[in-house]
Amino acid sequence: MAEPMMGLTTSDITFAEATPEQCEISWRLRGEAWASPMSIEDYVERERYLSQQELTRDGCRHWVLYLKGYPRQVIASCESTRKRVLISDGAGGPVRESYGYTIANVYTNPAWRRQGCAAFLLRKVNEQLDLDSDCSVLYSDSGRMYYGGLGWVPFPSWQANLILVPTPRSPTIVPQNDSDLVTGPPSPQAPKFLPRQPDRTRPIRLEDLPGLCELDQLHVRARFEALTADSKTHITFLPTSAQIAWQLARSQYDADKMLGKSITSKGAITTSGSSWIYWAHDWRAKRLRILRIVQGIKGNNSAEQRVGDVRVLLEAALAEASAWGLPKVVVWNPDGMVTLSCKTLGNYHPQSVKITFDERMDGCVPSMRWRYPVDAEGKDAPSKGIEWEDNFGYCLS
């Protein structure tokens, strides 16, 4: 008997990995809702471009539901990108490397909404992803209940906000070539910000990524191997250069289309080389989003040194945000050291930077579905006992 889906039943639809034509149709449907201030054509071109990055070229799969017999009638779609993860079972056993997926761009054609199509699509996608992975994550813009009911348990979504405050000595900065900005929201603007110790950092360029990410991964592995045995399963997405570069590619594409400019600085590193930061420019949300902060990678750094290093890196991020007309910097799930560094920075710049901490309840809520265990009815058990380490901005893609 066909499973009912209000006006549709499962006998009316086909689930499949999307053909190139169905990808184009899906991108165009999404573009009608999400492209602005880009044109739909630019949005489709961006999705095509992003699908050919190192991370996605062989690791991204596109899924669709379509009306049976009518493959161009796309009902719902999403994407899954395979990524490397490290897992420790918490019982003192060996650390193992596996795969996890990020699910993104879940979209239902407006003509078929409120019929359970997205939920059905995701259940079918899960069946495929469970064949070669241990988990999947998505970032919910629909609050914490909807995807939670489908097995993706919401995880902490705290963030630090470093907000540039206008002062008489900080004139507003508007990006150059502002006339190239496509029609849409007003041009981004932000007060000017100058770091107190600019000589303590230098910019990170794209060619720096492979070496830095390789060193970072070695550090993450060593940290996982040193975890104390407990009752939890620990998991982290490895901070690969492919994962960081994908987010940078998206920011650069947006900069080209919206501002006609090139982004040269992908982050900042201390002159000692022991700590660094990656960032991505987000013009729609008018913020500079921190992807990852690496602290004390060379060891033998005191807590005071690490706080100072992170502070100057965050100052570099504020200077970058200011130069691009972005009024704030956002750090997801700051740990204790980063939190202290944010507060220290606020004390250094009490007139020009406001520091706030809050939790995202509706937008980009990180949610994880763990493949194991299953209950007596064969349903996924809630992801209790899972410790998602390094739940930072670089995981989003």
Instruction: Indicate if the alpha-carbon torsion angle 34, 38, 41, 46 is positive or negative.
Output: negative
pLDDT at 169: 54
pLDDT at 296: 86
pLDDT at 6: 54
* Contact of 244 with 209, CB cutoff 8 Å: yes
pLDDT at 379: 47
* Contact of 164 with 352, CB cutoff 8 Å: yes
pLDDT at 8: 79
Reply yes or no on whether the pLDDT at 174 is more than 80: no
Reply yes or no on whether the pLDDT at 380 is more than 70: no
**pLDDT tens by residue, 199-242:** 999 999 999 999 999 999 999 999 999 998 888 899 999 999 99
- Output the pTM of the full model: 0.90
CA atoms of 278 and 244, how far apart (whole Å): 8
Considering only 100-109, 116-125, 166-175, which range has the smallest mean pLDDT?
166-175
CA atoms of 25 and 32, how far apart (whole Å): 11
**pLDDT tens by residue, 337-375:** 999 999 999 999 999 999 999 998 878 899 999 987 544
pLDDT at 384: 57
CA atoms of 333 and 330, how far apart (whole Å): 10
Report strand pairing: 153-154 vs 365-370.
antiparallel
**pLDDT tens by residue, 31-47:** 999 999 999 999 999 99
If pLDDT is split at 50, 70 and 90, which confidence band does 180 have? very low
If pLDDT is split at 50, 70 and 90, which confidence band does 184 have? very low
pLDDT at 173: 53
Beta-bridged to residue 237, according to DSSP, are: 85
- Domain 158-205+264-359 is of which CATH architecture? 3-Layer(aba) Sandwich (3.40)
**pLDDT tens by residue, 45-64:** 999 999 999 999 999 999 99
Indicate the domain borders of the chain.
4-156+363-395, 158-205+264-359
Which residue in 283, 360, 362, 364 sits closest to 36, CA to CA?
283
Reply yes or no on whether the pLDDT at 183 is more than 90: no
The third-level CATH classification (topology) of the domain covering 4-156+363-395 is Aminopeptidase (3.40.630)
User: Can you say whether residue 364 is alpha, beta or left, with left for phi > 0 and alpha for psi between -120 and 50 degrees?
Assistant: left
CA atoms of 202 and 95, how far apart (whole Å): 34
pLDDT at 376: 40
pLDDT at 93: 74
* Contact of 363 with 141, CB cutoff 8 Å: yes
* Contact of 73 with 67, CB cutoff 8 Å: yes
CA atoms of 164 and 349, how far apart (whole Å): 10
Report strand pairing: 233-237 vs 386-388.
parallel
If pLDDT is split at 50, 70 and 90, which confidence band does 322 have? very high
**pLDDT tens by residue, 243-297:** 999 999 999 999 999 999 999 999 999 999 999 999 999 999 999 999 999 998 8
Same fold, 4-156+363-395 and 158-205+264-359: yes
Q: What is the mean pLDDT of residues 98-114?
A: 95
pLDDT at 178: 40
End-to-end C-alpha distance for the chain, whole angstroms? 38
If pLDDT is split at 50, 70 and 90, which confidence band does 188 have? low
* Contact of 310 with 276, CB cutoff 8 Å: no
Instruction: Please return the burial class of 295, using the count of CB atoms within 10 Å of its CB with bins 0-12, 13-18 and 19+.
Output: buried
CA atoms of 85 and 98, how far apart (whole Å): 5
pLDDT at 172: 52
* Integer angstrom CA distances of residue 267 from 110, 198, 248, 278, 291: 39, 14, 10, 4, 9
